[in-house]
Every structure is written in C-alpha cells, then in structure tokens.
Amino acid sequence: MGKRYVIALDQGTTSSRAMLVERSGRVAARVQRPHQQIYPHPGWVEHDPADILSSQLGALTELLLAANVDTAQVDSIGITNQRETTLIWDRETGEPVYNAIVWQCRRTAPLIEELAQDPEVVRTITEKTGLVPDPYFSASKIAWILDEVPGVRAKAEAGRLAFGTVDSWLVWKLTYGAVHATDMTNASRTMLYNIHDLKWDPWLLDLFGIPEALMPEVLPSAGDFGITANPGVVQGIPIRGVAGDQQAALFGQRCWDAGDAKNTYGTGCFLLMNTGHNAPKSAHGLITTIAASAPEMRGVDYALEGSVFMAGALMQWLRDELGLLDDVAESSVRAKRVRDTGGVYVVPAFTGLGAPWWDAEARGAIYGLTRGTTADHIIRAALEALAYQTYDLLEAMEEDSGMKLRCLNVDGGASQNDFLMQFQADILGRPVRRLCDLEATALGAAYLSGLATGFWKDLDALRALPACGEVFNPAGTKAWREALLAGWRTAIGRTRC
C-alpha cells in the first residue's frame, strides 16, 4: 500500500496534539491530550518534561490506533512546538535536570534588566539575533538552570548535558537518543543563534555563560531529523519537518511570499509577516526571526513578528479565575449582548507586555469600571483587547517593512470567535480571512515534512490543494476607530506608569 499520510505532532503550551494529514491537505483525524501547568511562584511557569512527552506520545499512539493506520501508510512525521520553552537533560540517562521553563515565565527578568543597562549589549544582541532582550527567549532560562540547580553547570561544562527547546526534546525521545537537533526557526528564538551567520554565536554563548557543548545541531525546517525508534511508539517513521509553532502556522497559511502575513490566536497571539530574504531591522520593538522555508527556496526566508502574551489564556482566566464564563465558546454571544464596553478597557499584561511595548514589569489591569459595568462589558472588553493588540503590532509591522497588508490571514482557537474576528476587521479597517480548518500550525509541520520526502513535489503542488476560508469585511468609520484606539492607548499608558 502506498504512503497515504503525513503525521503532524503539535506540542503546544496547554496540550499535545497529533494529526493525520492526507495528500489532499485534509486533516483526516486528530487527537488532543492536555498537560499540566505548574506555577511555583508568581510570574513563574513550568511544565513537567515527562508530562510533555507522555501526552505527545499518547496522542500519537491513540491517533494511529483510532485511525487504524500502520507504518506502511505513513510517509513521515512533522513536528511543531511551543517555542522558547527550555529543557536541559542528561545525555546518558535521558532524564531532565529541571522542569521545562515555559516561554511565558518571567523569573529571569532581573538578569535581562541587568544586561539591558548596557546599550551596546542590547544593540549587539539585536544585531545578531533580531530579538529584543527579554526573559521570553531561551538564553536567560538556560542560564538560570545552570546557575540555580545544584551540580548542573559542572555537568554542562563536562559535556554531559543537552539543551533543547521542546522540538529537540521530542526528537531526542522519538529517536531514542540518536538525534540532538533543532531547526533554524526554533534556534532563532533562543537569543543565542546568529540569524545572519546561521550558527550558534560564541559572543552570545559567552555573554550568558552557556557551554557550546549543550547546544543541538541546527538543521533546515524541512530536513532529516532521524527515524522513530522509541519502544513506546510505532518505530521506523522518518521525522522530516520541524518548525516553531508560529513559523509553522505562517507556512501552513501559505504565506510563502514577501508581504504575506498571518495572526494565530492561541494561548498567546502571534502576528508574523514574511519578508523574504530580507531581514529588516525594526524601529518599533518588533523582532526579526527566521521563517520556515521549503527545500526549493534558495537561501533563508525571514519574518517580522510581534507577540501578545495573553490571548486564549485571557479568556480562560475569565472562565477559571473570575467565573464570568461557563465556556469560553460563549464569549462571542456574551459580547454581543451589549452595544459596546461602556468605556471599559482590559489590558491583559499578566506576564508583562510584548511588542511593541516590551515592558516586563507591566501587570494586568481593568480600566473604566462604573457601577453600571456588567460581566458582559468585561467579556467584550477582553475580546476587544486582543484586537487592539493585533492592531498595534500590524501598524508597527507595516512601518518597519514598508509593505501595506491587504488581508490578514487568521487561525488558532480564538479565531473561531465571530465577534472577535469582525471587531478585528473593523478596528484594522481591512479584511480578515479565516481558514475553514483552523489547524494551520499542524498543516505547516506536515507540509514541511512532506516536501522534504517528496510526498508533495513542490510548493506548486501545495498551491494546487483546495483552500477555503471565511472573510470578515471591515465596518465602522475612521472616526469610530480612532476614538476606540485613543481609549486603548490611554489604558496602555496608565498600565505602564
């Protein structure tokens, strides 16, 4: 029987998923398993590496059993993952030395603040990596583990330990320790990788006190990451695609040309614009990162990116902590119950503000409360906050790139919210296009793997696949938009004081 499927493993911040993708691009089956969030202290976020692994391997095994698929039917595996989340493990035992420090974690803010006191250090970091120094990225998280966990630094300097983002951890475990590698997109998120020279940078490693022996090999996103050999899973399947979740979503949204952009509404919210072979420097606090590229593309593609730390997580907070929602899915209906927010603005800076503000010390706030404020007003204001933050990012991105976006492609769980998508189009003043299948991240990983093996011949073969989407066209006047944005900027200004 010929190869019929590519498997996409999508290891996210709150769950691990496995998907079966047909040659037509249709997701034939999917399995999702949640994993635990650990909050040791305020502002700290961790995951248990064993929980990450078991949830992902469990999802993979369940997928194959439920779909009655065997190895002979599977072309390859593509992996996409939560980025920046940092793990270090023992090369001999395969055991982690500490929990995974999650991308949201702010424990290393003091270290970054100390480095940021030197403008030349900040300039050099940004010049080499395209990133703004921030606890968000992996470098300071690695340094924290080396310095704070007893005995770890000595083992690292002796070459006994391995660092990886989540993709590397999964590749190591799936190949049973045979491959210690990452791809360029994930490497570009560590604040240790020179995105111009395409290598781990000695100056950056020295700055953070990180032995180079810790670091994985860096491969193209469509590359050879070994073959599954873990006794706990089906063996003998090639792993041929790896990309950080947001770059995978950019690829899965078919944003293959300079000027194409997408926004993913997941736990966080991430806007990326493909800038082709040009790596523009941002004057507005955005970051320059490496985009996933097909094997046929010559050279490396780059992207401008802006990040919102709290998107779907904000709605979960309204449900789980405040009890304003029984189900996040009802937020669209609740928001429509009121004509507007009644002047209420929610600034969801629970773990600081991302681009274009980059304020690690900012904290969440709700402004404009009156005696007449209802739960519906707050729910609507929370949804609008996601759209305002996306507006800020896109405005900065257009100025940095010199490109005017015609249409914003969207995906991710919160993009199912019709109220949010319409308000997003309204506040942007341009169309928003939502995929029929919201699994752009998984599709990107599958596409990369299938292109590497020839399952799909080239990008033209992918372009020929059917695609459908719903378009939300903008409404509202320019004066209406400007009035709402003025209130948003006032709220941001108060939060940062």
pLDDT, tens digit (0-9, with 9 covering 90-100), for 34-93: 999 999 998 899 999 999 999 999 999 999 999 888 888 999 999 999 999 999 999 999
Alpha-carbon distances of 71 from 1, 5, 167, 235, 449, rounded to whole Å: 10, 10, 22, 8, 16
Residue 359 region by backbone torsions, left for phi larger than 0, else alpha for psi between -120 and 50, else beta: beta
Kindly indicate the confidence band of residue 359, based on its pLDDT and cuts at 50, 70 and 90.
confident
Identify how many contiguous H helices and E strands the chain contains and give both numbers.
16, 22
The one-letter code for the residue type at 111 is: L
Q: How far apart are CA 146 and CA 130, in angstroms?
A: 25
pLDDT greater than 60 at residue 293: yes
- Position 477 pLDDT exceeds 80: yes
Which pLDDT score is estimated for 16?
95
- Give the CA angle between residues 17, 417, 378 to the nearest 5°: 115
Mean pLDDT of the chain: 92
Q: Three-class SS of residue 404?
A: coil
Whether the per-residue pLDDT at 136 is higher than 90: the answer is no
- Residue 166 vs residue 68, higher pLDDT: 166
User: What are 405's two structure tokens?
Assistant: 């976006």
**Both tokens of residue 470?**
């719903």
Read off the pLDDT of residues 411-457 as tens digits, 9 standing for 90 and up: 888 888 999 999 999 999 999 999 876 678 899 999 999 999 999 99
Does residue 405 have a pLDDT over 80? yes
Amino acid at 489: R
pLDDT at 2: 63
Distance CA 481, CA 180 (A): 49
d(CA 64, CA 70): 7
Residue 29 has pLDDT above 80, yes or no: yes
Q: Given pLDDT bands bounded at 50, 70 and 90, which one contains residue 351?
A: confident
Closest to 354 in 3D by CA, of 284, 428, 298: 284
Give 193-232 pLDDT, tens digit per residue.
Answer: 999 999 999 999 999 999 999 999 999 999 999 999 988 7
Q: How far apart are CA 459 and CA 476, in angstroms?
A: 38
Peptide bond preceding 356: is omega within 30 degrees of 0, i.e. cis?
yes
Give the pLDDT of residue 285: 83
pLDDT at 497 over 70: no
Q: How far is it, in rounded angstroms, from Cα 365 to Cα 46?
A: 24
The per-residue b/e assignment along 366-381, b for 16 or more CB within 10 angstroms, e otherwise, is bbbeeeebeebbbbbb
User: Would you state the structure tokens that stand for residue 203, as one six-digit string?
Assistant: 């100056």
Residue 442 identity: A
Lowest mean pLDDT among 220-224, 281-285, 356-360, 453-457: 356-360
Percent of the chain with pLDDT over 70: 99
Average the pLDDT over 170-182 and give the result.
96
Query: pLDDT for 364-400, tens place per residue?
Result: 999 999 999 999 999 999 999 999 999 999 998 999 9
Domains of the chain in sequence order: 5-245 (3.30.420.40)
* Residue 283 confidence (pLDDT): 86
Q: Work out the average pLDDT over 260-273.
A: 86
- Amino acid 21: pLDDT: 94
**DSSP conformation letters of 98-123:** SPEEPTT--TTHHHHHHHTT-HHHHH
Distance CA 429, CA 484 (A): 13
Compare 89 and 266 and report the one with higher pLDDT. 89
**What is the Cβ-side half-sphere exposure of residue 90, based on CA atoms within 13 angstroms?**
11
The one-letter code for the residue type at 191 is M
Residue 367: left if φ>0, alpha if ψ -120 to 50, beta else—which one? Answer: beta
